[in-house]
Amino acid sequence: MKNDILSAIDSASGNFSKGQKRIAEYIRAHYDKAAFMTANKLALKADVSESTVVRFASEIGYDGYPEMRRALQDMIRIRLTSVQRIQVAKTIMESRDILQHVLSTDIEQIRLTIEETDRGDFTRAVDEIAGAENIYILGLRSSSFLANFMGFYFNLLFRNSRVVNDSTSGEVEVFEQIVRLSEKDVLIAISFPRYSRRTIRAMQYAKEVGAKTIAITDSRSSPLARLSDIPLCARSDMVSFLDTLVAPLSLVNALIVAVSEKAPGDLYANFERLERIWDECGLYEKLDD
């Protein structure tokens, strides 16, 4: 199956019936709206029967209409600008309980991530991180909070972990921070639609110098996953102008916990020392019993 549904439609167009051609024309002109329509609503818009819509999805190579609609949604997450996303979201959210919709979406993304995560890849990623001479964590723009969250805990577990910082000075500074990457190191790169070009280029550089590369991204078809030695995929979905990154954060949590089991030294003793330091510095508020 082609990653772009419009390409799939073009490839199959020679076999379309008159009704299927109307569906194709509507999707090409209004893919941002079609991505969130039921089969019945799309049928009404294209002036065809609902069964014609279902057959259309099969004709272009999908297992059913829900899979085709998901492909449309994946495509628009990459193509739409922030302004277009807000316009689409306004239509989706109209007359809905926003709190219910957003939290339900997050729950569904976590459920799908549990089902789809390759346990073998996850174990390999843990082993590579634990055995690396140096660990570089890169996440720019909206992914920077995931990188910093992982970096905070890896810094407590390892002596050799560093977060590649985002800044306004751009791509050159990113490369300055990873210039010492070697085949003994690992780069963990995080990016979700719309994918960061600087993150992709950093991954390409890491591959060139022979470092191990781990991608945390939304699917195996993402440019980051295709470049990585080990892709770890977590579902995200479009919510207005932003993408929900709850499932990716859960994946990062799981990675931190799994890696902590293989971290060098006595984890219990390390945190005992930290607790004494935190207590001496008065870092946390003490609550009365």
Concatenating the DSSP letter of every residue in 188-243 gives EEE--SSPPHHHHHHHHHHHHTT-EEEEEES-TTSHHHHH-SEEEE---EEETTEE
Structural domain for 142, as ranges: 113-279
Q: For residue 70, is it within any domain?
A: yes
Same domain assignment for residues 68 and 127? no
Same domain assignment for residues 129 and 71? no
Same domain assignment for residues 34 and 140? no
Same domain assignment for residues 139 and 274? yes
Whether the per-residue pLDDT at 75 is higher than 80: the answer is no
pLDDT bracket for residue 289 (50, 70, 90): low
> pTM surpassing 0.85?
no
DSSP 67: H
Same domain assignment for residues 164 and 272? yes
Count: domains in the chain: 2
Q: How far is 279 from 277, CA to CA, in rounded Å?
A: 5
Tens digit of each residue's pLDDT (9 = 90 or more) over 139-165 = 998 899 999 999 999 988 888 999 998
Burial class (CB in 10 A: 0-12, 13-18, 19+), 136: buried
Of 58, 79, 100, the residue that ends a domain is 79
3-state SS, residue 36 = coil
Name which residue leads in pLDDT, 234 or 288.
234
Q: Residue 89's closest CA among 31, 32, 28?
A: 32
Same domain assignment for residues 55 and 194? no
Same domain assignment for residues 168 and 238? yes
76: which 2 tokens? 């628009």
CATH number at residue 37: 1.10.10.10
* pLDDT score recorded for residue 214: 97
CATH number at residue 176: 3.40.50.10490
Q: For residue 108, is it within any domain?
A: no
Same domain assignment for residues 68 and 120? no
Tens digit of each residue's pLDDT (9 = 90 or more) over 164-222 = 987 655 567 888 899 999 999 999 999 988 788 899 999 999 999 999 999 999 888 88
Whether the per-residue pLDDT at 74 is higher than 80: the answer is no
**Which of 15-24, 249-258, 264-273 is least confident?**
264-273
Same domain assignment for residues 58 and 138? no
